[in-house]
Chain A
């Protein structure tokens, strides 16, 4: 356990050093959040009499939650691992006295939390004071949100590690890297909250894992998903997390055997 904590802590510290990047990232996201928010406002103003699955107030909070927690989403694999696999240095990773999957997972935890922490706190403060973001609808929603968020982190790390692992198969690995951001953005609800999608798309989006990254936690926060359904949400989340982890471990073993056989 100690080596894991050391790994996470070291990486965390390293990522915290990028203060200019964090500040700049914060600015970028505030700008994006504002633009996205204004577009939604314009849309809602254009159809004021219709009943919508989410109110504009809820959508605004949703948007800012998205910006605050952006860094937690699995946009890419760990860039250092990617470089390692490319150069063949991944063989040296095998010399470490830790299970490789767990080691990479630990790195992913740091990767997904440190930048988020740097940006989420100021972002939420700004959004709540200036941009109309609302706090959770009640205590139950807040607690539910926190619980679901843990699952979001776990899933995001599992996907992150999986992406790194697929790099061992050069062509398919590269393909995933380039396709992942678009898949994640659209299907998670990041671009458009899932309730606003056309009716025929909803069932598909509900089943896929990605909505558990964004749509599920945010709508719990909003109270739009009542606490009675929390159980189903968590079940959906964790089934997928287990699937992703098992898949990841399996592919890692095969990938390493392949590398060893090929000579790196």
Chain B
């Protein structure tokens, strides 16, 4: 059985385990939905008072918000296995992962598919749908392609951040919230078009954690409106690839982490 089939098999097991606790699942999903929906409520409240955010309308911000939440929800759901990794190091269960003749990445990634994250997915999709509807956006192939790039690129980027966060667990035993500043902070920041931020933050989100690359530029093209930052149209098609590059880099870092683990023990 090759690695991909094994990964899918693992996911199936995780899902079955979660479905055993049906009531809890529904509650958790609803709770997750609410927690993430509150974010948009606060945006709505602010727009109610201020009417515009620079030259963006509520519906446009809703599109940014929706895309980021959808992609992050997916990455969060699939990446939970790596999230749990920190505990494995503490309990010594990672040794067992190393004793199996399979890639550590496949084994960890398949550990869990957290279904309740669909709460964030639902509210993100709902907000996105509302925004598109309010702006009367037509469904073109170009739009679909851009949407796929946005979700795919962001998914890769957030997954990469999760891997980096897990890799940190090799060096510090305590759970690191540091990466949360990048993941959740990134989600929070990218919910708004980054043109509203100052220069240094825009630079940070373009070159260090390339959220701007994976979301802002392609979404501006998706909205088919002029970019206040003045970027050329082709950027929208190229920059999402930064997300995939980031993921590749984080997997290299992971390998360094595993090497460190095997040379120092736990």
Binding site for B on A (CB under 8 A): 18, 20-21, 23-25, 27-32, 34-36, 38-39, 42-47, 52, 171, 174-175, 177-179, 181-182, 185-186, 191-192, 196-198
Q: Which residues of A sit under 8 angstroms from B4, Cβ to Cβ?
A: none
Interface of chain A, main secondary structure: helix
Partner of B178 from the list A28, A32, A34, A196 (CB cut-off 8 Å) is: A28
Interchain nearest-CB distance for B251 vs A (Å): 23
Contact status of A28 and B181, CB under 8 A, knowing A182-B34, A192-B45: yes
A189 to B185, CA, bound (A): 19
Interchain nearest-CB distance for B75 vs A (Å): 18
Q: Which residues of A sit under 8 angstroms from B23, Cβ to Cβ?
A: 171
- Asked if A32 contacts B34 (CB within 8 A), the reply is no
Chain A residue with minimal CB distance to B26? A175
Q: Which residues of A sit under 8 angstroms from B176, Cβ to Cβ?
A: 20-21, 24
Q: Check: B30 CB closer than 8 A to any chain A CB.
A: yes
Q: Which of B154-203 contact A (CB under 8 A)?
A: 172, 174-178, 180-182, 184-185, 188-189, 192, 196-198, 201
Interchain nearest-CB distance for A197 vs B (Å): 6
A39 to B54, CA, bound (A): 10
Q: Which of B41-75 contact A (CB under 8 A)?
A: 41-42, 45-46, 48-54
Interchain nearest-CB distance for A140 vs B (Å): 29
- Asked if A28 contacts B185 (CB within 8 A), the reply is yes
A21 to B172, CA, bound (A): 10
A28 to B182, CA, bound (A): 8
A34 to B189, CA, bound (A): 10
Partner of A21 from the list B45, B48, B177 (CB cut-off 8 Å) is: B177
Partner of A178 from the list B27, B192, B196, B201 (CB cut-off 8 Å) is: B27
Number of A-B pairs, beta carbon distance below 8 Å: 109
For the complex with contacts A28-B177, A30-B181, 13 further pairs of A-B residues with Cβ separation under 8 Å are A20-B176, A29-B181, A31-B181, A32-B185, A36-B188, A38-B196, A39-B192, A43-B46, A46-B50, A46-B54, A174-B27, A179-B31, A191-B42
A16 to B109, CA, bound (A): 33
25 A-B contacts (beta carbon < 8 Å): A18-B174, A20-B172, A23-B178, A24-B176, A24-B178, A24-B181, A25-B177, A32-B188, A35-B201, A39-B196, A42-B53, A42-B197, A43-B50, A44-B50, A45-B54, A47-B49, A47-B51, A171-B27, A178-B27, A178-B30, A182-B35, A185-B35, A186-B38, A191-B42, A196-B45
Q: Which residues of A sit under 8 angstroms from B206, Cβ to Cβ?
A: none
Q: Check: B117 CB closer than 8 A to any chain A CB.
A: no
Q: Which residues of B sit under 8 angstroms from A181, Cβ to Cβ?
A: 35
- Asked if A35 contacts B188 (CB within 8 A), the reply is yes
Partner of A175 from the list B27, B46, B54 (CB cut-off 8 Å) is: B27
Q: Which residues of B sit under 8 angstroms from A182, Cβ to Cβ?
A: 31, 34-35, 37-38
Interchain nearest-CB distance for B181 vs A (Å): 4
- Asked if B54 contacts A27 (CB within 8 A), the reply is no
Partner of B45 from the list A30, A47, A197 (CB cut-off 8 Å) is: A197
A214 to B200, CA, bound (A): 30
Chain A residue with minimal CB distance to B193? A42
Interchain nearest-CB distance for B103 vs A (Å): 28
Q: Which residues of B sit under 8 angstroms from A24, Cβ to Cβ?
A: 176-178, 180-181
A216 to B240, CA, bound (A): 44
Q: Which residues of B sit under 8 angstroms from A46, Cβ to Cβ?
A: 50-54
A174 to B181, CA, bound (A): 27
- Asked if B201 contacts A38 (CB within 8 A), the reply is yes
A34 to B204, CA, bound (A): 13
Interchain nearest-CB distance for A185 vs B (Å): 6
A65 to B106, CA, bound (A): 43
- Asked if B198 contacts A178 (CB within 8 A), the reply is no
Partner of A35 from the list B38, B51, B174, B189 (CB cut-off 8 Å) is: B189
- Asked if A198 contacts B185 (CB within 8 A), the reply is no
- Asked if B53 contacts A43 (CB within 8 A), the reply is yes
